Amino acid sequence: MGLPFLLGLGASNPIAFQLSVATGVAAFILTLLTDHQLGIIKVIPYKIHLLVDFIVGIVFVIAPFIFSFEGIDAYYYWINGATVLLVVSMHKSEETTARGNLA
């Protein structure tokens, strides 16, 4: 959540800064509410958490085009979006892991 401040996001469009901070706060809250090792209240299934991450990744990849982000603003969103999509795509479902253990 601090990176938008350090990078000075928002030079090409103030939405670049606002969207990043809002997403960071929402991601922190989502983590606290997710049923996994970092969750505290554990009311959101992990699959839903992954779905939200996937949607955020897509939004981050297309946001520079929609909002005309340029320079560091665009690169920040493209790199973060691609990273989130890569991490989500590498996640093995519980069913796949369970089937792999049976073999």
Q: What is the mean pLDDT of residues 87-94?
A: 82
Question: What does pLDDT average to over the chain?
Answer: 91
Host domain of residue 11: 3-102
Helix (H) or strand (E) holding 102: helix 94-102
* Contact in structure between 10 and 18 (CB atoms under 8 Å): yes
Q: For 16-36, what is each residue's pLDDT tens digit?
A: 999 999 999 999 999 999 998
pTM of the model: 0.85
Q: How many domains are contained in the chain? A: 1
The C-alpha atoms of residue 34 and residue 60 are separated, in whole angstroms, by 22
Cα torsion 93, 49, 3, 71: sign = positive
